[in-house]
Amino acid sequence: MARSRVRTTHLPRLTPLLPVLALSAALLLTSACGSPDPARGTAGDHAAPGANGKPVVVATTTWEAAFAKAAGAEDVTVIVPRSVHHAPDYDPKPSDLAAVAGADFVLYAPFEPYAAKIKEAAGSKARLVEVNLDNEPGKAAAEVARLGALFGTEEAAAHWKTGLDAEVARLRGELRAAWPGGHSPTVVTQVFTGWAAGLAGATTVGTYGPDPVTPAQLAALSAKKPALVLDNAHMSTGTVLPDSGARQVEIANYPGEDLDLLAVYRGAARELRKGMGGVDG
C-alpha cells in the first residue's frame, strides 16, 4: 500500500473571518430545525475522487485523520494541530478554508462545532462526514469499514482490521499477564476512556465526566475503592480522586503526527502496565 501523504496546517493564529462568524450563527439556526443528517452515509455512496482517482480527505483533528488513514485514505490534511490540547475549542483560520476547497471528504466529530462552518465558508463541494470517534476495537473497526466503503478503499480497510485484531489480541494478553496478583484490577474511567479498561480486561466500578467531578461524585467514586483511575489525557483537570489511594493513568485518544491509530492502543497498554505495576495484588 502506498504511504499516506499527511499534511497538517501550522500557520500563525489569525482572527477568524467575519463571514465565518456570520455563517456560524446561520448554522446554529439550521441545526435548531432538526433536519436529517446525511453525513453518516452508506456503502456505495461515494464522492468524486481526487485527480489521482483516490479520495482527498480533510479531517478536523488527528483522531478523525487516523480513522481515514486506517480506512485507506492516502491524501489527508489535518486542520487542528495536535498541539491544541482541547480540539473543540479551536477557532478556524482563513488558511483552513483553503485546505477544504479541493477536498472530496471533510471528516469531523459531532462534539466539534466548527466543521460545517469550515466547509460552508470555503464553498467546498466536499462530502461532510460525521465520524464516530470511539477507540473500542469493535466500534473502531466498524467505523473504519464504513469509511472504506465511502472512500472506495474497502480492501485497505479490511487489511487494517486484520492488523487491529492481531495487535489487540497481543496487547490484551500482555495486560492480562500484568494483572496485579493475577486479578483483574478495578477501575474508574472517564467517559471517553472506557475502551482502555476493556483493553486491560479491567473491572469498571464507576465513570465520570465530561463535566468536572462534583464533591458528591468524588465521595461516591472513592467509596468504590478503585485500584486505577483511567483519566482522559486530553481533558485532564489533575488528580481525579485525591486521597483515595487509586493510581491515576493518563489515556490518550488522539494519535501522533503519523496518524497511526494502532499506536494509540500500544500507548494505552504501556501506561496501563505502568499503572498496574504500582498496584498491590
Binned at pLDDT 50, 70 and 90, residue 99 comes out as confident
Q: What's the whole-number mean pLDDT along residues 113-124?
A: 76
DSSP annotation string for 145-182: HHHHHHHT-HHHHHHHHHHHHHHHHHHHHHHHHTSGGG
Comparing 55-59, 118-122, 170-174, 229-233, the range with the smallest average pLDDT is 118-122
Report the Cα 233 to chain-centroid distance in Å: 12
Comparing 49-53, 193-197, 249-253, the range with the smallest average pLDDT is 49-53
Residue 280 confidence (pLDDT): 62
> In sequence order, which residues have a C-beta less than 8 Å from that of residue 11 and are 6 or more positions away?
93, 95
Residue 116 confidence (pLDDT): 73
Q: What's the whole-number mean pLDDT along residues 148-162?
A: 98
Q: Which amino acid is at 187?
A: V
For residue 59, the number of C-alpha atoms closer than 13 Å in the C-beta half-sphere is 28
Q: What is the pLDDT of residues 178-222, one digit of tens each?
A: 999 999 999 999 999 999 999 999 999 999 998 989 999 999 999
CA distance 201 to 205: 13
pLDDT at 47 over 50: no
SS3 content of the chain, % helix, strand, coil (to 5): 40, 15, 45
Greatest alpha-carbon span in the chain: 60
* Closest alpha carbon to 64 in 49, 76, 46: 76
Q: Residue by residue, what is the 3-state secondary structure of 128-144? A: EEECCCCCCHHHHHHHH
Residue 233 confidence (pLDDT): 94
Q: Are 97 and 121 in contact (CB under 8 A)?
A: yes
The DSSP element (H or E) to which 99 belongs, if any, is helix 94-101
